[in-house]
Amino acid sequence: MKPRSSALRSVTIPLACSWFILSGIIVLLLFVFYMTFVPGLPTEPGFTLQHWANVLSARLMTRVIPNTAIVGFGAILVSASFALPLAWLLNRTTLPFRNMFITMMALAAIIPGFILAMGWIMLLDERIGILNTVIAALFSLDSVPVGVKNNPFGIAWVIGLILTPPIFFLIAGPMRALDPALEEAAGVAGFTQWKTIWRVSFPLVWPGILGGLIYIFMTAVSLFEIPALLGAASGKVPVLATELFYAVRPGGPLTATFAYGAAGVYGVLLAIPSLTALYLYLRVLARAERYQVITGKGYRPREFSLGRFNWLGIAFVVAYLMLSVGLPLSVLVWASLMPVLQVPSVEAFSKVSLGNYYGLLETIGGFPVIRNTALLMTSVSLLVCFFSFMVSWVVVRTQLRSRKLIDMLAMMPHAIPGLAFAFALAMIGILASIWIPWPPVSGTIGIIVVAHVINRLPYGTRIMNSALVQVHHELEESAQVCGMKNITIMRRIVFPLVKPSMIYVAIWTAMLSFQEVTMALFLSGPHNHVLSVGIWELWDRDLGKAAAWAVTMVAVTGALMWVVLKLTGGRVGGHIGTWARVAR
Amino acid sequence: MTHQSRGPRCYRPWGIILGFLLLSVTYVPGPTSSPEPFSSASAALGFEPFAGAVMAATTTTPPGGKELLNELIRKAKDEGELVATIQSTWSKTLIPPIVEAFKKRFGLNSNVTVANVRPAEHFVVAIAETQARAPATYDVVQGDDAETMQLIGGGGTQKIDNWETLLAEINPLVRSGKVRPDRINRGPFAQHAFLFMSNIKQILYNPRLISAQDLPRTHAELGDPKYRGKFTQPPWTSHWEIAPAVFDNFDKEKWLEIVRRAGKNTGAVLGESTGVQRVVLGEFAFALAQDTYFRQILLKDPKASLAFKYFEDYNERNGVYYSVRTGARHPAAGTLFALWMTTPEAQAIWQPSELLAVPYGESKIDREQALSIEKSGAKAVGFLDNEKTMDLLKWYRSEEGRKYLDAMTRAIRGE
């Protein structure tokens, strides 16, 4: 057992880094909470409980919360049903074309969610749905009772498909790091391959899965555009996210009335189930040693051969990719070739042209926008990786009493709507410009980076927590015995072992930053426009051009993903065994 | 239940302490309640040095228009920069020609930045900037009637002294007497905001799905069960909000019930542009939207199945205005830009691609819009049309008015 002073010294840097980022979160959370008692802007005097009174209505209990629960849990069910088998198939088996499939999983993440929703409307709408029309014609039906509009299950289905890649990436790292010795032991004990997966492999990645499910739930209930497109905005299937939108803008988007305090109230409502789930998650982590599967003893990952069931695995992966990538990508490509979006027909085909692809860069604002976007994605990626590693180190590798508080604080930004955070940051930026006028805050790319880093920290820490949980203490203890300093152990042993998860965090946060609109839009000034804002503005003005941009970005990002995967050893995590041996 | 009973005990002390802390760092004494907030707010906030600073030289001996303009240009040159906004939906390809033409018109060699901005998002920040006495992010901004009213009410705009003389110098339509200055600046916006374009709210429909005869004639008919699920409308109130100034013996509650019935009939609540695209797609028969989208869709695809029809009771004319921000770093350049954007020269740059009409303009689009309204006998009503509409606009700034708009927004979603 180490003396207390030595133990404290070993966590000084991670602890300092953790509290640095968490202090930013605390300030923003307090600001958001404070705003729930402010009638208008924080610069105006006054105190009100009206935001709370407005939100806590009978409608909330009878319609909004039940619908939100269906959407949240339904999305979990859908995404977990796809993501868990996909993560296993693409990380622990010898399935062919895995690199291509993983790249396509990442592509699914950058296709705007509402395009998928539009795709499903074009497939299943009662009037224009292609699939419905075909089924109705085949079976001589007047109408087909299958639809995604105006029902919470349809919304859950579409959101579940969209959120499959995040949970896939959340558990892919831990899945790759499973100790084959345990699986071999199960085999020796007479377990079948499927029983080994169910009884040994999955329980070992349970922290990752649980963290992912919490993340999915919180994301699903806070998504706005998809429920809005599928009926929630019409008040037919009200969910928390759409109620939040209208509570913040009670007079609608064009009347410029505002009640940002309402965002904080909804944040608290969203935080209650999230914190409950987090409590369960922390209880799982409290028995972290059960999940430490990366030890210093002959560790190497092992891959299962599916044998004659290979085709079944491929069929499953392809089916998901068709639903989540093929369908929306087809709609995107089709929309990009049409002057005005129409259902495919002979007449529509006569209008196909590449006109929307001409002069694309100018339509978005030119090179500065690309530069800003690249800067944003890179900075957010690096900072989220760094701070997530530091926070997770404190949470998982120390016995500090504050570690549970730290983990809960790190998770909190996910419960607060991005709009509320952006608003708080904008207000702080304004006040900062008076108190400390010399550093540029408002209207810089830096303020968007801060918003994104804080907003993505929950995701980064979920992955890093589950990755660090799997690295056994004995590796560090061996290094300490050999006289290594703590910082060297972190850099030379632990970091290489969790590098696959780190790369997943980097890729995924970059993708999320690329996609994010709400915060970037609210914080945008004359010089910090990013691509997502440009494309979002295009959607409103010119769907064809916006679709052309989206197709181009999918192609470019796909190519970049391919390069990243190649550079990281064919597959992320390809060197993990080597690093473990070097460290040993 | 445990959560609910424990929650307040945990939050109360923290909430109070933190509330005080934040209040102490964020509270800036705001304007006291004023019956004319838009005229006194900026002064109360300590921005008087900005207001009128541009025209300071003119207060002693009123010089002629040319001298005034030259003085303004000189100040703009000294400022050396301008940060302005254009509509968020406008093409970014318009920015270079607008910047070049503006600089050329006034012989400026300044650094001019023009950005697409959504007033609905930015004006909140703008008002906070004003109240915190922070410099404005943008020198000159654009917004529609309600948005501009909000900004002026929050003290977010500054007065332009001698605006009539300057406008006559800059805008040839005003100089020639073809357009009266009060068509561009009047009522509660006097000296603050300058009209440069507008749109008309109406019905855009897909003739393959519904005939003109079968469309609703009045807003009240939107509640007819035969239209259930057949149309979209936007979440904002601009198709409904002007009604109190249109009808005699207006009954607010009865009107809310009409909006609610229409809301229950609505197939989807979508932004106007998205709604029109879904009509062309064939998903909905018609949409409540503005005339601009009709022209824009037809420009992209002349064969698109889309037509328009005016309501017979009224059609709101939604004006868009430029105003110079309180606390602008470059108020002289901002003033020049706000006034220049009302000119046919500026219009000739943006109108061919954006297809929005200028109510006092003379272009083909402007004439066609005016002719179409005239021929159909439709009633187009704007917020600055008469005393009644201007009073309504002011009323919507009151607590009672805001609550009514809130109720209308909920009614649009059938609540």
- Average pLDDT of chain A is 78
Per-residue confidence at A257, pLDDT binned at 50, 70, 90? Answer: low
- How many domains does one find in chain A? 1
Residue bearing tokens 């509509």: B87
Q: Which strand (E) or helix (H) includes residue B131?
A: helix B119-131
> The complex's ipTM?
0.71
Q: Which pLDDT does position B30 carry in this prediction?
A: 35
CATH of the domain at A354: 1.10.3720.10
- A48 falls within a domain: no
**pLDDT, greater one: A303 or B250:** B250
Per-residue confidence at A568, pLDDT binned at 50, 70, 90? Answer: low
Angle at B344 between CA B338 and CA B345, to 5 degrees: 80
Position A345 pLDDT exceeds 70:
yes
CB atoms within 10 A of CB A548: 24
Mean of the pLDDT values across residues B289-316? Answer: 94
Q: Which pLDDT does position A49 carry in this prediction?
A: 84
Contacts with B123 from chain A: Cβ below 8 Å: 256
CA–CA dist A547, A554 (Å, integer): 10
Q: Which structural domain, as residue segments, surrounds residue A94?
A: 4-39+60-583
pLDDT digits (tens, 9 = 90+) for B323-336: 999 999 999 999 99
Is A234's CB within 8 Å of B413's CB?
Answer: yes
Using the Cβ of B71 and the Cβ atoms of chain A, whether some distance falls under 8 Å is answered with no
For residue B137, the chain A residue with the least C-alpha distance is: A525
Any idea where the domains of chain B sit in the sequence?
A: 37-197+319-369, 199-317+374-412
Position B18 pLDDT exceeds 60:
no
Q: Which pLDDT does position A373 carry in this prediction?
A: 92
For residue B285, the chain A residue with the least C-alpha distance is: A127
Is A235's CB within 8 Å of B129's CB?
Answer: no
pLDDT digits (tens, 9 = 90+) for A281-299: 666 666 555 555 555 555 5
Which residues face B194 on adjacent strands? B322
Is B83's CB within 8 Å of A526's CB?
Answer: yes
Is B282's CB within 8 Å of A251's CB?
Answer: no
Is the distance from CB of A209 to CB of A202 less than 8 angstroms? yes
Nearest-CA distance from B272 to chain A in Å? Answer: 9
CA B185 to centroid of chain Cα atoms: 14
Mean of the pLDDT values across residues B399-414? Answer: 86
Lowest mean pLDDT among A201-215, B26-40, B47-61: B26-40
Nearest-CA distance from A41 to chain B in Å? Answer: 7
- A212 falls within a domain: yes
Q: Which pLDDT does position B289 carry in this prediction?
A: 96
Contacts with B92 from chain A: Cβ below 8 Å: 362-366, 534
CA–CA dist A49, A46 (Å, integer): 10
Instruction: Nearest by CB to A255, from B26, B28, B405: name it.
Output: B405
Q: Which pLDDT does position A238 carry in this prediction?
A: 84
Which of B82, B129, B151, B330 would best serve as a mutation to test chain A binding (most A beta carbons within 10 A)?
B129
Interface size, chain A vs chain B, as Cβ–Cβ contacts under 8 Å:
212
Instruction: Nearest by CB to A426, from B115, B125, B412: name it.
Output: B125
Q: Which of A59-68, A141-150, B261-270 has maximum average pLDDT?
A: B261-270
Is A529's CB within 8 Å of B23's CB?
Answer: no
Interface of B with A in 143-202 (CB under 8 A): 143-144, 146-147, 150-151
Q: Which pLDDT does position A503 carry in this prediction?
A: 84
Q: Which pLDDT does position B35 carry in this prediction?
A: 35
- A55 falls within a domain: no
**pLDDT, greater one: A559 or B4:** A559
Lowest mean pLDDT among A104-113, A548-557, B94-103: A104-113
CA–CA dist A410, A459 (Å, integer): 9
- A184 falls within a domain: yes
Per-residue confidence at A32, pLDDT binned at 50, 70, 90? Answer: confident
Q: Which pLDDT does position A7 carry in this prediction?
A: 54
For residue A258, the chain B residue with the least C-alpha distance is: B124
**pLDDT, greater one: A397 or B194:** B194
CA A207 to centroid of chain Cα atoms: 17
Position A401 pLDDT exceeds 50:
yes
**pLDDT, greater one: A328 or A572:** A328
CATH, domain range B199-317+374-412:
3.40.190.10
CA–CA dist A517, A102 (Å, integer): 25
Is A427's CB within 8 Å of B26's CB?
Answer: yes
Position A583 pLDDT exceeds 70:
no
Q: Which of A167-181, B120-134, B250-264 has maximum average pLDDT?
A: B250-264
Residues 6+ apart with CB under 8 A from B266: A234, B229, B231, B232, B233, B412, B413, B414
Is A41's CB within 8 Å of B124's CB?
Answer: yes
For residue B401, the chain A residue with the least C-alpha distance is: A251
- A393 falls within a domain: yes
Q: Which pLDDT does position A122 carry in this prediction?
A: 74
Lowest mean pLDDT among A106-120, A291-305, A528-542, B100-114: A291-305
> Which option is the CATH number for B37-197+319-369: 3.40.190.10, 3.40.50.720, 3.40.50.2020, 3.30.479.30?
3.40.190.10
For residue B87, the chain A residue with the least C-alpha distance is: A537
pLDDT digits (tens, 9 = 90+) for A436-480: 766 667 778 989 999 999 988 988 898 888 788 777 777 777 887
**pLDDT, greater one: B86 or A430:** B86
Instruction: Nearest by CB to B91, from A251, A260, A363: name it.
Output: A363
B65 exposed, middle or buried (CB, 10 Å; 0-12, 13-18, 19+)? middle
Q: Which pLDDT does position B293 carry in this prediction?
A: 94
Instruction: Nearest by CB to A41, from B18, B131, B133: name it.
Output: B131
Q: Which pLDDT does position A253 carry in this prediction?
A: 44
Lowest mean pLDDT among A257-266, B84-93, B110-119: A257-266
Is B269's CB within 8 Å of A252's CB?
Answer: no
Of the candidates A329, A425, A348, the residue with the CA atom closest to the CA atom of residue B128: A425
Which of B137, B280, B337 would best serve as a mutation to test chain A binding (most A beta carbons within 10 A)?
B137
Q: Which strand (E) or helix (H) includes residue B205?
A: strand B193-205
Q: Which pLDDT does position A367 carry in this prediction?
A: 87
Position A572 pLDDT exceeds 50:
no
Instruction: Nearest by CB to A254, from B93, B144, B297: name it.
Output: B144
Contacts with A231 from chain B: Cβ below 8 Å: 268
Q: Which pLDDT does position A478 carry in this prediction?
A: 83
CA–CA dist B327, B338 (Å, integer): 16
Of the candidates B34, B199, B42, the residue with the CA atom closest to the CA atom of residue B126: B42
- Average pLDDT of chain B is 84
Is the distance from CB of B170 to CB of B343 less than 8 angstroms? yes
Torsion from C-alpha of A431, A434, A438, A444, nearest 10 degrees: 40
State whether residue B287 is helix, strand or coil: strand
Position B339 pLDDT exceeds 90:
yes
- A109 falls within a domain: yes
Which of A521, A541, A543, A549 would best serve as a mutation to test chain B binding (most B beta carbons within 10 A)?
A541
For residue B405, the chain A residue with the least C-alpha distance is: A251
Instruction: Nearest by CB to A430, from B128, B138, B241: name it.
Output: B128
Is B3's CB within 8 Å of A253's CB?
Answer: no
Mean of the pLDDT values across residues A419-423? Answer: 76
A7-18 as b/e, with b when 16 or more CB fall inside 10 Å? eeebbeebbebb
Q: Which pLDDT does position B40 carry in this prediction?
A: 44
**pLDDT, greater one: A256 or A229:** A229
Position B397 pLDDT exceeds 60:
yes
Position B160 pLDDT exceeds 50:
yes
Give the helix ranges, DSSP H, for B171-304.
172-175, 252-265, 272-281, 291-300
For residue B271, the chain A residue with the least C-alpha distance is: A540
Instruction: Nearest by CB to B263, from A41, A235, A250: name it.
Output: A235
**pLDDT, greater one: A92 or A180:** A92
Is the distance from CB of A511 to CB of A565 less than 8 angstroms? no
Position B125 pLDDT exceeds 90:
no
Q: Which of B114-118, B207-211, B276-280 has maximum average pLDDT?
A: B207-211
Residues 6+ apart with CB under 8 A from A179: A204, A293, A294, A295, A299
Lowest mean pLDDT among A568-572, B123-127, B261-265: A568-572
Mean of the pLDDT values across residues A138-167? Answer: 82
Q: Which pLDDT does position A398 carry in this prediction?
A: 83
Q: Which pLDDT does position B24 carry in this prediction?
A: 39
Mean of the pLDDT values across residues B59-72? Answer: 76
CA–CA dist B55, A543 (Å, integer): 45
Instruction: Nearest by CB to B269, from A233, A249, A522: name it.
Output: A233
CA A261 to centroid of chain Cα atoms: 25
Q: Which pLDDT does position B13 carry in this prediction?
A: 40
- A45 falls within a domain: no
Instruction: Nearest by CB to A127, from B128, B143, B282: name it.
Output: B282
**pLDDT, greater one: A342 or B391:** B391
Is A257's CB within 8 Å of B129's CB?
Answer: no
pLDDT digits (tens, 9 = 90+) for A518-547: 788 778 888 888 888 888 777 767 878 888
Q: Which pLDDT does position A6 carry in this prediction?
A: 56
Using the Cβ of B298 and the Cβ atoms of chain A, whether some distance falls under 8 Å is answered with no
Instruction: Nearest by CB to B129, from A363, A430, A537: name it.
Output: A430
Q: Which pLDDT does position A302 carry in this prediction?
A: 67
Residue bearing tokens 């868990």: A84
Q: Which pLDDT does position A112 carry in this prediction?
A: 66
**pLDDT, greater one: A560 or B407:** B407
Q: Which of A355-364, B60-69, B195-204, B235-244 has maximum average pLDDT?
A: B195-204
**pLDDT, greater one: B57 or A255:** A255
pLDDT digits (tens, 9 = 90+) for B191-246: 999 999 999 999 999 999 999 999 999 999 999 999 998 999 988 888 999 999 99
Interface of B with A in 222-251 (CB under 8 A): 234-238, 241
Position B1 pLDDT exceeds 50:
no
B37-197+319-369 shares its CATH topology with B199-317+374-412: yes
Is A343's CB within 8 Å of B409's CB?
Answer: no
